[in-house]
Amino acid sequence: MYIHETQYRVRYGDTDQMKYVYYGHYARLFEIGRVEAMRALGFSYRQFEEEGVMMPVLDLHCNYLKPAFYDELLTIRTTVTEMPGVRIHFQYDILNEAGEHIHLGKTTLVFVQMHTNRPCRIPEHFAAALRPYFEQT
């Protein structure tokens, strides 16, 4: 398993009149979580696209456990749960400032060769960086 944490400050524009973070904004938090998780391994998604690989999202799941509120500094804990092949699974656990687990998200993304527009295996340099986190002991 590869786990990475990053933080996100809730902005006014994220809230709705229920005073909660709007339910549709969590997908943005997941994007921040997985991109920063990749960056911490030395990979930028921008570079991936420049090298001809994109990663569209296949599915998304959100479990709203507790609301998030304006100006809270949330922790986004991103986990790559299994060694990716053609697909990569991310799990996102969001914690509020009190350390409460307020959200559980999951996404599946697929590696796609941009010039053929077809699925492909995870780029080898990215696989190499992830492998140590999935080796059996």
Nearer to a second copy, 9 or 131 (CB): 9
**Contact indicator for 101, 27 with CB cutoff of 8 Å:** no
Contact set with a second copy (CB under 8 A): 9, 11-13, 15-20, 22-25, 27-28, 31-32, 35, 44-46, 54, 56-64, 67, 70-71
Q: How far is the CB of 55 from a second copy (least distance, A)?
A: 10
Query: Residue 132 CB, nearest distance to a second copy (Å)?
Result: 25
Q: How far is the CB of 108 from a second copy (least distance, A)?
A: 9
**DSSP string over 43-62:** --HHHHHHTTEE--EEEEEE
Q: Which is nearer to a second copy, 19 or 99 (CB)?
A: 19
Q: Give the nearer residue to a second copy in terms of CB position, either 24 or 85.
A: 24
Q: At CA 67, angle to CA 66 and CA 70, rounded to 5? A: 150
Question: Closer to a second copy at the Cβ: 59 or 100?
Answer: 59
Please report how close the Cβ of residue 83 comes to a second copy at its closest, in angstroms.
Answer: 23
Question: Residue 104 forms beta bridges with which residues?
Answer: 63, 93
Please return the burial class of 50, using the count of CB atoms within 10 Å of its CB with bins 0-12, 13-18 and 19+.
exposed
Tokens of 81: 């749960």
